[in-house]
Structure 1
Amino acid sequence: MRWENVYVAGLGAYLPREAVKADDAVAAGLYDAGEHEANGIREVRIAGEGEAPAEMAAAAGRQAVQRSGHAPEDFGLVLHACCAHQGQDFWTPASFVQREAGAGTGAAIEIRQGSNGGPAALELAASWITSRPDAPAALITTGDSFKLPYFNRWTTDDQQIYGDGAGAVVLSTRGGFAKLRSTASVGDPSLEPIYRGDDAWNDAPFYNGKPGDMRARKHAYLMQNPNGYEEAIERIGRNFGGVLHRALTDADTTLPDTQWFVHANVGQTVADWGFYGQLGLDPKQTTYEWGKDYGHMGAGDQLIGLNHLIETGRPKPGDLIVTVGAGIGFMWTVAVLEVVDVPQW
C-alpha cells in the first residue's frame, strides 16, 4: 500500500533498568551455553515491581504523545499490541494505555499478532486515520514482559531469548518527522500449526502449572510432517521476500537504495539466515548490535528499535528506513519510512 499523507509524529520507549547478562544465566544453569554461543544475545531487561507490561506501554505512549505535539482530542484510535500476560485477567489493556497516555476517547483495541504485533498495528492505524478526516492521529503501543511461572525467557522458545520492554509510535495525517511511504502485509495460515502443536485445546491459561513450551509445539508439528521443516523454511522465505518486494515497489525504491533496516532482536543464527545472508545487509545499517543487549521484546522490537535509531540522530533527511516484522500465525509486515526532518528530541 502506497501512503501519501501519513507521518510518524512521535516515538517512545520504556526499558526497565534491571538487566541480566546471558553469561550469568548460563553460569546459574538457567540457559544453555551452546545456545548462548549460537544466539549471540548478550543480555535482557527484566521488569520489576510496578512495571507491568501495560504500565510500560503507557509510559512509552506518553512519551510518544508528548513528542508528537498532538492534543488528546486529535486521537481517534489507540492500538495496543502484545504477546504476553499484561498484568490482569479479563481486562482491556488498550483502554488503560489510552487513559494513562492521554490519547483521547476514540476506539481502543488490543492486537494479538505475536512478534508482528507492532508492525501490523502500524498498517492498521494508517488505514484508520486516512479514512477519518476528523481523527488525524493514532497511538500504537507495545508492552511485554516474560516471567515465570507462566513463561521462561531462557527456555520456552529456541533460537532467541526474551526481554521486557515497551514501545510507541504516533501516526498523523498532519505531519511529522518521517513520512510513511508504504506498508505491505501477507499471511500464511498453513504455518499456523507450528506454534499450536498437537495438544488438546485448553480450558484456561497456565492449565498445567508449567511454563509454556513452544519448542515442544514445534517438535510435535515436525513429527507429524516429515517434510515440514523444509516446507516451512521455503514458505517463510518466499512470503518474506514477496512482502518486502511489494513494500519497496510501492515506495518507489529498492533495498540497496535504502539506508536503514530495523528487524526483530532474534538470535544470531536466525538473523544471519533471514536478513544478512539472504538480503546482503550490512549490520551497521541495522539496530541489531544494540538489540543484542535487550533480546526479543515480543510485539515491540521494531517500534523500540525505530525509537533508538531516531534518538541516535544518525538518520538524515531523505534517508529511507525499512522495518520488517514476522509473527507466528504466520504474518509478515514491512513498512518503508522516509525521514523528512531530524526531531529535536
Structure 2
Amino acid sequence: MAGPIVNLGISSFGYAFGEDQDVASVAGTYVRDPERVLNWGYRTFHRAPDGVQATDLAAAAAQQALGRIGLSADALDLVVLAVSDVPEYLSWDGAAVLARELKIERAQTLLLTEGCGAGVHGPYYVASTMAMQPEVDTALFVAVNRISEFHRNRMNLINTVLSDAAVAVVLRRDHASNRWLASEQFTDPEHSDLLRIDFGGAVNPVPPEGWSSLTAPGGHARIREQFANDPDSFQRFLENRYERLVEVIDAACTRAGIDRGEIAHLIYLNDSAASISAVAEPLGLPLERTNAGLAPDHGHMGAADQLVSLGLQLERGELAAGEVVALCGISTGRWSATLIQI
C-alpha cells in the first residue's frame, strides 16, 4: 500500500556548528595543492575547537531543538543519533551518552553509524518505531559529523571540505507540517572498503610508525588503487553514483504514492554545484531548487548536510507549504532517499 506507514512530522530544528574557517586561508595547512581544494567552490567550513567532540555538538543541537518548542527531554520516547565520523571511544554507545547529556533517566535509544547517508534514512527508523509502538509519540533525531583530524585529512578524503556540525529534529506523531512521506535505501557492498580507516580497530589497533593524516595518501589514492587494473569498472562506479540516486528517489516516490514530477526541491550532500546538478537534472529541477546555494558556506557536514539545509531553507522561506522535498545521499555503498512534505 502506497503512502506513509505512520503520520509524523518535524516540529523543530536545532543546530550546532564548529567555528567558521575560511577555506582559502587554511587550505594550505591541510594539502600541498590548495588550488585543487579552492576549485571545489567552498568558501567556509566549520571546525570544532579541540575540546569539543561529537557528543557536545549533538547535545547542543538537541537542546536548541527542544528549547524552541518548550519541550522537556523527559517527554522524548525515542532518541536516535547518527554519527558519520570516528566516535570518541570504541565500545561506546553515543546515543546513550546523548540521552545522559540531556538528563534523561530512562530512554529508548538507537545509534546509527552508516556514514553520510544516515542523516537521510534515519527518520525511517523513527517512523518504523512509531508504527510498531503506538505509545511512541515524540522522538529526537540528531545527525552529527565531527572530523577526527588525527584519523582523516578533512581536505584530502574526497572532493569536499569536511566540516563539523550537528542538526537535531523533533519528530512528533500527527504533526501536520514537514511530514515524513517515505524513505528508501539499498546497499551495493562491492566497494564498502573504499573509505575505511585501516587502523584503530581490532585488525590494526595502532597506525604505522610516523603515519600522519597530513601526509598519508588521500581517499582518491585508495580509489585509484582499487580500480587500477579495471578502468571500465571504475567508469561504471562513477556513473552508478548518480543513476542510483535517481533510482532510490524513484523508489521512495513509489512507496509514498507520488510521481517524481511532484518533487519541488532536492537536497543532496553539500557537494560541488556540478555534482548537485547531476542529481537534480534528471528530476527536472534547476540548481536554485537545491542546496547548491548553501553548500559553499558550510562544507560537507557528513550526515548533517541534508537536515541542516532543510531547516535553513525553511527558515529563509524558500520552501512553501505542501511542496515535496527529496533528501538524498550516499554513504560508501549505500544510497538513501527520504521525502518530506512541507
Same-fold call, TM cutoff 0.5: yes
Alpha-carbon deviations, 1:139-177, whole Å to 9, x = none? 11122222432221112x131110111011122214253
- What is the distance in 1 between the residues matched to 2:25 and 2:92? 36
Q: Please, which of 204, 216, 219 is the counterpart of residue 214 of structure 1?
A: 219
Matched letter for residue 247 of structure 1: A
Contact 1:7–1:177, Cα closer than 8 Å, also in 2: yes
Q: Is the 8 A contact 1:103 1:139 kept in 2?
A: no
Equivalent of residue 304 in structure 1, options 298, 308, 315: 308
Instruction: Please give the per-residue CA displacement for 1:222-248, whole angstroms capped at 9, x wherever unaligned.
Output: 125342212213433342222111212
What amino acid is the match of 2:320?
A: K
Q: Which moved more, 1:141-150 or 1:246-255?
A: 246-255
Aligned counterpart in structure 2 of residue 332 of structure 1, from 324, 329, 335: 335
Q: Is the Cα–Cα contact under 8 Å of residues 276 and 287 in structure 2 kept in the other structure?
A: no
CA 133–52 in structure 1, closer or farther in 2 if over 3 Å, else same: same
* Distance (whole Å) between structure 2 residues aligned to residue 205 and residue 107 of structure 1: 34
Deviates more, 1:295-304 or 1:141-150: 141-150
2:245 pairs, out of 240, 259, 279, with 240
2:293 is equivalent to residue 293 of structure 1? no
Q: Which residue of 2 aligns with 1:8?
A: 10
Cα contact 2:13–2:169 (8 A) shared by 1: yes
**Cα distance in 1 between the residues matched to 2:197 and 2:232:** 16
Name the SS for the 2:56 alignment partner.
helix
Conserved 8 A contact 2:280-2:290: no
| 1:41 to 2:45 alignment | no
Q: 1:207 to 1:139 in 2, by over 3 A?
A: farther
RMSD: 2.7
Q: 1:173 to 1:198 in 2, by over 3 A?
A: closer
1:259 Cα deviation after fit: 2.5
* TM-score normalised by length of structure 1: 0.86
Say whether the 8 Å CA contact 1:62–1:102 is kept in structure 2: no
Gaps of 5+ in 2: none
Percent of residue pairs bearing the same amino acid type: 21
Check if 1:225 corresponds to 2:230.
Answer: yes
Match in the other structure for 2:254: 249
Query: More displaced, 252-261 or 284-293?
Result: 252-261
Alignment deviations for residues 83-134 of structure 1 (CA, whole Å, 9 cap, x no partner): 2233344432211211223566222222111110111211111111221111
Q: Tell me the equivalent position of 2:163.
A: 163
Change in 2 beyond 3 A, CA 1:90/1:250: closer
Name the residue aligned to 1:342. none
Change (3 A) 1:326 1:103: farther
TM-score (norm 2): 0.87
Contact 1:53–1:87 at 8 Å: present in 2 too? yes
Equivalent runs, 1:104-253 vs 2, <5 Å: 105-155=106-156, 157-196=157-196, 202-204=203-205, 206=207, 209-211=211-213, 213-253=218-258
Verify the 8 A CA contact 1:260 1:321 in the aligned structure 2: yes
> Using a 3 Å threshold, how does the CA distance of structure 1 residues 91 and 22 change in structure 2: closer, same or farther?
same
Contact 2:10 2:172 in 1 (8 A): yes
> Distance in 2 between the 1:113 and 1:196 partners?
12
User: Quick check: 1:197–1:216 contact (8 Å CA) kept in 2?
Assistant: no
Distance 1:298 1:31, change over 3 A: farther
Amino acid at match of 2:252: A
CA separation in 1, counterparts of 2:277 and 2:323?
A: 24
Q: How many residues align?
A: 335
